[in-house]
A = this chain, B = another copy of it.
Amino acid sequence: MVDQNKGPIRLGMVGGGNDAFIGGVHRIASRIDDRYRLVAGALSATPEKAQASGAALGLPPDRIYDDYITMATHEAARDDRIEAVSIVTPNHVHMEAARAFLRQGIHVICDKPLTSTLDDAETLVAEVENNNALFILTHNYTGYPMIRQAQHMIAAGTLGQIRVVQVEYAQDWLTTPQDFKQAAWRTDPARSGAGGSTGDIGTHAYNLACFVTGLTLDSLAADLQAFVPGRPVDDNAHVMLRFKEGARGMLWCSQVAPGNENGLRLRVYGEKGGVEWGQEDPNYLFFSPFGEPTQRITRNGPGAGDAAAVVSRIPPGHPEGYLEGFANIYTAAADAIRAHQAGQPLTDSPLPTVHDGLNGMKFIHACVTSSAQNGAWIQV
């Protein structure tokens, strides 16, 4: 029997075949801190592609599977079975795939949004609660060190009571009609869910705002658009936010905003100060204590504390990026998996959970509902 608790974690992957974007990201993220070895996969719904992709990654032939159900049962039967699986398929597959592994006691690391429907999301929450395995959602942007820094400062009261939250996530890649694979499923409600930009990127923005501020959304009013003719889901959304704690906010997500590549940006203002962060320049956090000059705090630089340092690898001025932020989720997941295996309490690293995923689905649902009701305020 292979020792469960030493060395890299044996990892499987569902989805992420040759021409997928996010699968490759997950694989790099899993490797950066040397905490995982990818040893099995059902990398595509198309068997030939699944085989070719597995071979290209050097997986053992007997651990290249044509479908995730087979993979879950076969792996569960092995002594050296995978300890965790990454699910990186289109959204509508998440629930069933995750369930298959959770029921085998295999930990799940799943891409966001949680599922394609709210029903599926609730089903999945129940599955997580009823099985003895961890479920981690890769809201990767929460892994950025300066996001942790901001979260820490707000939790410590540095900004005082939070009043205003401005969050946005703007892209431009759907400005014109697109028919390549990445665009196709993301704009197909059957595979992606009822939300377009709201589901693909709005959930990230919403999650990040809540993660950093610690606030809980009460209700929202949304105005969704599909600017490209014939597009069945939103490609732009304006959302007003009311938080239970009294703060107000705005969320804008768009995939039709030329010049924006991956413009996730968060600004938070409290009684005593404000912070500003942008994903494209993630090593900086701008901190404005009211009545003092704005400070540029850099990752691992002066003014940045332990919250950022524990998810940093290299000195200030040596930029870390998207992959390292993503790796921070994977590495914390590895710590959690090892703790779980050892029967120890989980670390306090802030991993995104299935409940975060459910919240994201509720957010999408509320956006779509509000917009259908001409922007009525909808409780989340």
Contacts and interface: CB of A to CB of B under 8 A. Distances in A.
Contact of A317 (B225, B227, B260, B320): B260
**How many A residues are at the interface, by size bracket?**
35 or more
A317 B262 contact: yes
A171 B249 contact: no
A139 B165 CA distance: 28
Given A254-B269, A269-B256, A281-B281, A263 B317 contact: yes
Interface stretch (A23-31, A64-72, A113-121, A341-349): A23-31
A258 B290 contact: yes
Contacts of A322: 314, 318-320
A54 interface: no
Contact of A31 (B32, B250, B303, B320): B32
Contact of A321 (B240, B293, B321): B321
Contacts of A276: 259
Interface string A261-287: 111000101111110100111110011
Given A274-B258, A319-B280, A293 B298 contact: yes
Interface of A: 7, 21, 24-25, 27-28, 31-34, 58, 159, 163-164, 166, 168, 171-172, 175-176, 221, 223, 225, 227, 236, 238, 240, 242, 248-250, 252, 254, 256-263, 267, 269-274, 276, 279-283, 286-298, 301-303, 313-324, 374-375, 377
